[in-house]
Structure 1
Amino acid sequence: MAKKQKTIITCAVTGAIHTPTMSDALPYTYDDIAQQALEAAEAGASILHLHARDNETGAPSVAIDDFAPFLPRIKQATDAVVNISTGGSLTLSIQDRINPAKTFSPEMCSMNMGSMNFSFHPLAGRYKDDDWKFDWEKDYVENSDGNIFRNTFRDIKEAAETLAPHDVKFEHECYDVGHLYNLKFCMDIGLFKAPVFIQFIFGILGGIGPEIDNLVFMKRTADRLFGDDYRWSVLGAGGSQMTLGTTASQMGGNVRVGLEDSLFISRGKLAESNAQQVAKIRRIVEDLGCEVATPDEAREILDLKGGDRVAF
């Protein structure tokens, strides 16, 4: 019998969707991002997917000065793989969004595989005007119904070619089935080399819904398009996080959790930290008979360049 591949757990520590008002556990200061990232790694996350935020207000940021205070601390204290987002902000240009990855040359970075409506405006209705901790939050959330998250073929090509000298492995974020075909086209023209790492994303308003049938459909489509030339993981937004992650692990896939994707640990109960979510999915995965990959095992599975070749 063939040996079963180990399950990689990614933790997305803070993101650019949720705001400080929505959960006291959401890290946004440099210290909190570093601390929660390290705790998530200790709990079993072999990949840390990182965004930056303004240290004072918690607003999403792609400024180099907002990444620099915590990246070296994380590298010095853990051997977890660092993945820097190129999503960053839904309103910035691709040049701005890829600048942190270009500057710090991580082992991995995210790559959104298509333009889409990307909205979280319904969250604004959960809060009264005087609930918001910072002035920027309400407008940021309410106005997301006007967002087009731009990731054109030209944008994807520019990001791929700019970051190619850095030998990063992309986390290809696919929010709908058409994004898989976009990725296949980009591979056919030589932008990305196999094995690619695909993050199937479910439950974002503007993307495919978080049903198990959709996971099966996305996996079947990827099998047809990529054969053995890909590895995959699942991100279930909000309440679908643990359900879809558990299902993915039993289908031979990997899982992503974290406060970027869901603020909750169970229905109606806010998570206390990123590490709590990592510990929960690790317990589920192991109880169901799978082994969790170490950082070095994740590097081998995904063919990463190694932590000694980053620039932070």
Structure 2
Amino acid sequence: MFLLLCKLDAVAALQPSAARAVLILYASRATSNIPGSRWRGAISMASVGKIRILLPKYPQESGVMRPRERDRPYWASALNKTPQFGMMVKSAPVLGDCPRDDKKMKIQTPQAALPALMVAPNGARLKKADHPAIPQTIPEIVSTALVCAEAGADGIHAHVRDENGDHTLDAGLYKELLAELAQMVPRIQHQITTEAVGRYTPDEQIRLVRSVHPRSVSVSLAEMTAQGWTSQVEGFYKWCDESEVAVQHILYSPDDLGNLIKLSNQGSIPDTRLRMLFVLGRYGQGVPSQPDAIAGFLQLLPQLKAKPDWAVCAFGQSETACLRAAGQMGGKVRIGFENNTINEDGTIARDNAERIAQFISSRNRS
């Protein structure tokens, strides 16, 4: 298999700063379909560094030669020079290959720890009207994952959307998304969400996770216990632990953390792999997130019997300052358009990759 790089002036119109190049994938001995109907019969775009990439989506019955599973490319950052017409580049070995299992969808290499920098590119609320770079479709989410991985992310927290662009807990869409991410961006961790947004019940959230059987999922303790601590909820957390589904507990306040500590210490929630996300700020409150709010969470952690793995996300323009503080305190970070589209200097970020680059640059300067 190889990559054919062709110069194409039309690509420049897509983004002025992008290089005028197109990478076209094809294999000489391909026979199998690319999984996921959304990848057939169209073109997907991603910007990696200064190179614009077009990924062919093959029609199911087109007769076009299709890449085999073992011939998938690995997006090497070594492709950093201006491509010339007709230039041939041999692809690097694929990392993270794993079979697709439609029953359990265990498609990732197990990750014992949270990613150091997880991108949350879309969330449940913002749409294209809020920012044109909000990824809503599965191809857009995968393309965003590609460019964010190049920018420095080692994980993605993604929400799927329905045909109207609304947040949905659709197991079929999540299975399709995870399959595409495993094939196109296997080197980063993939996390789905159970966010209720006032629409879904704990039963529906549990049903989603059991159906998709992801490697990683975010679960709000407040949402899961909205109807009280039930045997079904307790069974869900224990099933996740036994089934190697890594739960990241979403904690909106120190009170949520206190509840988690109580449930963990009494054995109701397994404490073998406690992963947490401390959320600073809220949607629509109009009050900026503050770095010193992290201390309210950290002062409770010594009450846990087991050492947790924790990260921080923050709403609004102060996101960068909050995440920088989290890193200095020994935590990890989640960044992206789910919580904020504004750079620290007040400018609107071009896309999620720019938010990552801006944060990393700020962190390195501090």
User: Which one has the bigger helix percentage?
Assistant: 1
- Tell me the residue number matched to 1:204: 282
- Tell me the residue number matched to 2:322: 244
Aligned partners of 2:336, 2:233: CA distance in 1, in Å? 25
- Contact 1:14/1:50 (CA < 8 Å) preserved in 2? yes
SS of aligned partner of 1:61:
coil
TM score, norm. by length of structure 1? 0.72
Of all paired residues, the percent bearing the same amino acid is 23
TM score, norm. by length of structure 2? 0.62
- Contact 1:16/1:89 (CA < 8 Å) preserved in 2? yes
Describe how 1:1-312 pairs up with structure 2 within 5 A.
8-54=116-162, 56-78=163-185, 79-115=187-223, 150=226, 152-154=228-230, 156-190=233-267, 191-205=269-283, 210-222=289-301, 224-226=302-304, 229-266=307-344, 268-288=346-366
Aligned partners of 1:6, 1:16: CA distance in 2, in Å? 21
Aligned partners of 2:295, 2:177: CA distance in 1, in Å? 38
How far is 1:206 from its partner? 9.1
* Larger CA Rg, structure 1 vs 2: 2
Matched to 1:166, the amino acid is: S
How far is 1:8 from its partner? 0.5
Matched to 2:250, the amino acid is: E
- Tell me the residue number matched to 1:119: none
- Contact 2:125/2:166 (CA < 8 Å) preserved in 1? no
How far is 1:33 from its partner? 1.1
- Contact 2:317/2:342 (CA < 8 Å) preserved in 1? yes
Aligned partners of 1:248, 1:227: CA distance in 2, in Å? 22
How far is 1:93 from its partner? 1.1
- Contact 1:114/1:152 (CA < 8 Å) preserved in 2? no
Aligned residues: 250
- Contact 1:113/1:156 (CA < 8 Å) preserved in 2? no
Aligned partners of 1:240, 1:156: CA distance in 2, in Å? 35
- Contact 1:111/1:171 (CA < 8 Å) preserved in 2? yes
Matched to 1:61, the amino acid is: T
Aligned partners of 2:264, 2:161: CA distance in 1, in Å? 32
Matched to 1:218, the amino acid is: F
- Contact 2:316/2:341 (CA < 8 Å) preserved in 1? yes
CA deviations on 1:54-111 (whole Å, 9 max, x unpaired) are: 1x32111111232233221111122211111111543211222233432332221112
How far is 1:6 from its partner? 11
- Contact 1:16/1:88 (CA < 8 Å) preserved in 2? no
Of stretches 59-68 and 267-276 in structure 1, the one that deviates more from structure 2 is 267-276
- Contact 1:23/1:270 (CA < 8 Å) preserved in 2? no
Matched to 2:146, the amino acid is: L
SS of aligned partner of 2:129:
helix
Aligned partners of 1:286, 1:249: CA distance in 2, in Å? 11
How far is 1:50 from its partner? 1.4
Aligned partners of 2:258, 2:180: CA distance in 1, in Å? 38
How far is 1:209 from its partner? 6.9
Matched to 1:178, the amino acid is: D
How far is 1:282 from its partner? 2.3
- Contact 1:111/1:172 (CA < 8 Å) preserved in 2? yes
- Contact 1:83/1:108 (CA < 8 Å) preserved in 2? yes
Aligned partners of 1:287, 1:151: CA distance in 2, in Å? 46
CA RMSD of aligned residues (A): 2.8
Can you give the 5+ residue segments of structure 2 that lack an aligned partner in the other structure? Answer: 1-112
Aligned partners of 1:266, 1:196: CA distance in 2, in Å? 31
Structure 1 residues 67 and 253, CA, compared in 2 at 3 Å: closer, same or farther?
A: same
CA deviations on 1:202-251 (whole Å, 9 max, x unpaired) are: 111599972233211211222x2226611211111122211100011111
Structure 1 residues 60 and 169, CA, compared in 2 at 3 Å: closer, same or farther?
A: same
Can you give the 5+ residue segments of structure 1 that lack an aligned partner in the other structure? Answer: 117-148, 289-312
Aligned partners of 1:209, 1:156: CA distance in 2, in Å? 33
Structure 1 residues 167 and 83, CA, compared in 2 at 3 Å: closer, same or farther?
A: same
